[in-house]
Amino acid sequence: MARRGTAFDVEITEGAIRVRNAGRVLTIANASPPPDGEEGADFFIALDEIGHWDPPDDDQEIDVAELQKILEAIELQVEKHGLSIVFE
């Protein structure tokens, strides 16, 4: 669960991160680490693959401001669990 004060609930699973907000869900798969990127991180998130909420809300685009809030909520939850994340 996300910290109080954020509108985003973040759930970390073995292969994905799930974000809930206002009845919408965003599932972000753990990407493969880039060949020349940072190794040893627990999660690799490909930012260019985050554009819309999951169905049935996939017609709702995620704008830059909302994406920033989502990423901040994810970082807080990942740190809380003592994990590391790389956004590519």
Residue 7 has what pLDDT?
Answer: 86
pLDDT of residue 20: 97
Rg of the chain over all Cα atoms, to the nearest angstrom: 13
Per-residue pLDDT of the chain (88 residues; tens, 9 = 90+): 444 444 899 999 888 999 999 999 999 998 877 676 556 788 899 999 999 999 999 999 999 999 999 999 999 999 999 999 999 8
What pLDDT shows up at residue 40?
A: 75
Whole-number pLDDT of residue 1 = 43
What CA–CA distance (Å, rounded) separates 38 from 20? 28
Domain layout of the chain by residue ranges: 9-87
Compute the distance between CA of residue 1 and CA of residue 76 in angstroms, rounded to an integer: 10
